[in-house]
Amino acid sequence: MSPPQLLARSQIDFIGGDFDALATHMRHCALAQGRWFAMGHHLQRVRSVAAGRIVTMACVVVLLAIGLFAVV
């Protein structure tokens, strides 16, 4: 007598697939926090500050360029 369809073991292995996905994610995180992690973090913070003030930064660069050309 075969077991009912609902009680039969599923052919899909959800736990094994989740474990593989978690292992891949953990490997990715471990590689992301390598030697240059701190430098990347600081650059990301600088970029976020500069992006919020992109027009101001552009004006400062233009003024510095004009000042350098005026001195030379």
Q: What are phi and psi of 2, to 5 degrees?
A: -85, 150
What pTM was estimated for this model as a whole? 0.35
Work out the pLDDT band at 3, boundaries 50, 70, 90: low
Residue 7 lies in a domain: no
54-71 and 37-52 are packed helices; what angle lies between their axes, rounded to 10 degrees? 90
Strands (E), 1-72: none
User: DSSP assignment, residue 53?
Assistant: T
The pLDDT tens digits of the residues spanning 15-35 come to 667 788 888 888 888 777 777
User: Which structural domain, as residue segments, surrounds residue 56?
Assistant: 14-71
Contact present, 51 and 44 (Cβ < 8 Å): no
29 alpha-carbon distance from chain centroid: 10
Residue 1 lies in a domain: no
Q: What's the rounded mean pLDDT across residues 1-7?
A: 53
Angle at 39 between CA 38 and CA 45, to 5 degrees: 90
